[in-house]
């Protein structure tokens, strides 16, 4: 489809759900052979697999809250979103939430709370979480708003309800921007895509709060830009091993060690790769590659799935895979509603 087509919106949201559902199998695993990944994915094609057999985790549970809040309010509403996160957690606490964030989610349900950003600020000794929980649910901001300034502002605030450390919320900003660019068709020119992200993150990371958090955590100045430059270096190499990706970019639960990794996975799999079935399309390659990294596979595949889905569109998603994943059919319907909201949203200048 063309830029910002409905097929791309569907692809982005369904891709995110698929990544979470298929990635759950290997979350926390080390040394995942590609053979095991392909076995797992081949299983999705078998007719006797029940509908929605692979359950989604916190990544999708929170993404659904963001989608429903944006659609119901027609805008970003931090109180509504905080309430939905808290209610979702109360109803289904067993979706695999991070061990720190559950305290925030409990406190967000208190009727006495007036500042909804306060519980997140109290995390980890007052600096806030640098986990990838803000980034994993950032895709809907790129599907609801067309102006990059809105996408940046609201993905940041949406993440700050649970992640007040700059390394946490800037991961959400980066993920939302990557989905936004992919929706526009920007992955047709990979070098320009990564350069745009670097220049956006140069702005985001120049703010005082980002600088002081990077310093306090012993990270280089402009930590996301530094990682995105590493992504560029890896893109230029003729061969890249899984071990190299893990050691250069990471596969962990910190947003800094997973958002640039997800972006790399998408870029790396734009072209056919040895070790992956010839019959696989780009989105299938991307998800398989994410799973083979091990570590935080549900979240890396969820984020890469959103970006790749925005690039390839819904046609790239095998119906059998979609059927196996809880919430994937519904995601397609919500993508249509978000597409309508997006078209009404003010364009940036
Ligand atoms: O970021 P968060 O929502 O977790 C998301 C991850 C995804 O992989 C999901 O699929 C799910 O499995 O969890 O939850 P947080 O609890 O805010 O952060 C995740 C973890 O990162 C924490 O439990 C800590 O182990 C670590 N972490 C920190 N550790 C030390 N200091 C995050 N921030 C800090 C910190 O500042
Ligand atoms: Mg999860
Ligand atoms: Mg995870």
With cut-offs at 50, 70 and 90, classify the pLDDT of residue 349: low
Task: Tell how far the Cα of 229 is from the centroid of ligand 2, in angstroms.
Answer: 27
Q: Quick check: CB of 252 below 6 Å from ligand 1? A: no
- Least confident interval from 39-53, 71-85, 129-143, 275-289: 39-53
Q: What is the pLDDT of residues 299-340, one digit of tens each?
A: 999 999 999 999 999 999 999 999 999 999 999 999 999 999
Tell which one of 100, 121, 159, 167 to mutate to probe ligand 1, the residue whose CB is within 8 A of the most ligand atoms: 100
Q: Which atom of ligand 1 is nearest to the CA of 217?
A: 36
Task: Read off the pLDDT of each residue in 174-191 and give the average, rounded to a whole number.
Answer: 98
Please report the pLDDT score of residue 113 as a whole number: 94
ipTM of the complex: 0.99
Q: Quick check: CB of 184 below 6 Å from ligand 1? A: no
Q: What is the pLDDT of residues 136-147, one digit of tens each?
A: 999 999 999 999
Cα–Cα–Cα angle for 75, 80, 85, rounded to 5 degrees: 120
Task: Read off the pLDDT of each residue in 220-234 and give the average, rounded to a whole number.
Answer: 98
DSSP string covering 28-73, please? T-SS--HHHHHHHHHGGG-TTSPTT-B---HHHHHHHHHHHHHHHH
With cut-offs at 50, 70 and 90, classify the pLDDT of residue 1: confident
Question: Measured between alpha carbons, how far is 148 from 100 in angstroms, rounded to an integer?
Answer: 30
Task: Tell how far the Cα of 3 is from the centroid of ligand 3, in angstroms.
Answer: 30
* Separate counts of helices (H) and strands (E) for the chain: 18, 0
Task: Read off the pLDDT of each residue in 30-42 and give the average, rounded to a whole number.
Answer: 96
Question: Measured between alpha carbons, how far is 230 from 261 in angstroms, rounded to an integer?
Answer: 10
Q: Quick check: CB of 124 below 6 Å from ligand 1? A: yes
For 6-344, CATH number out of 3.40.50.2300, 3.40.718.10, 1.10.8.60, 1.10.4080.10 equals 1.10.4080.10
Ligand closest to the CA atom of residue 133: 1
Q: Say which DSSP state 135 is in.
A: G
Q: Quick check: CB of 130 below 6 Å from ligand 1? A: yes
């Amino acid at each position: 489809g063309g830029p910002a087509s409905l097929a791309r919106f569907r692809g982005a949201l369904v891709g995110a759900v698929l990544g979470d559902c298929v990635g759950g199998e290997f979350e926390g695993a080390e040394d995942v052979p590609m053979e095991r990944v392909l076995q797992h994915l081949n299983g999705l094609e078998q007719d006797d697999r029940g509908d929605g057999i692979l359950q989604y985790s916190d990544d999708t549970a929170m993404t659904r809250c963001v989608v429903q809040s944006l659609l119901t309010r027609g805008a970003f509403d931090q109180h509504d979103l905080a309430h939905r996160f808290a209610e979702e957690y109360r109803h289904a606490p067993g979706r695999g939430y991070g061990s720190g964030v559950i305290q925030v989610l409990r406190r967000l349900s208190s009727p006495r709370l007036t500042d909804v950003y306060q519980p997140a600020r109290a995390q980890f000794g007052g600096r806030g979480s640098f986990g990838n929980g803000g980034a994993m649910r950032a895709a809907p901001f790129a599907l609801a708003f067309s102006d990059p300034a809105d996408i940046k502002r609201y993905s940041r605030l949406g993440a700050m309800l649970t992640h007040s450390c700059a390394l946490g919320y800037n991961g959400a900003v980066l993920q939302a921007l990557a989905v936004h660019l992919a929706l526009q068709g920007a992955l047709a020119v990979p070098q320009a895509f990564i350069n745009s992200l670097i220049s956006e993150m140069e702005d985001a990371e120049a703010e005082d709060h980002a600088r002081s958090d990077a310093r306090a955590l012993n990270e280089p100045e402009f930590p996301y830009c530094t990682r995105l430059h590493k992504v560029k270096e890896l893109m230029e190499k003729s061969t890249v091993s899984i071990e190299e990706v893990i050691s250069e970019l990471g596969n962990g639960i910190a947003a800094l060690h997973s958002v640039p990794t997800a972006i790399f996975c998408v870029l790396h799999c734009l072209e056919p790769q040895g070790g992956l079935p010839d019959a696989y399309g780009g989105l299938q390659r991307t998800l398989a590659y994410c799973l083979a990294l091990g570590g935080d596979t549900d979240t890396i595949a969820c984020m890469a799935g959103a970006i790749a889905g925005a690039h390839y569109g819904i046609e790239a998603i095998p119906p059998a895979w979609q059927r196996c994943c809880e919430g994937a059919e519904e995601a397609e319907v919500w993508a249509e509603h978000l597409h309508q909201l997006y078209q009404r949203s003010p364009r940036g200048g």
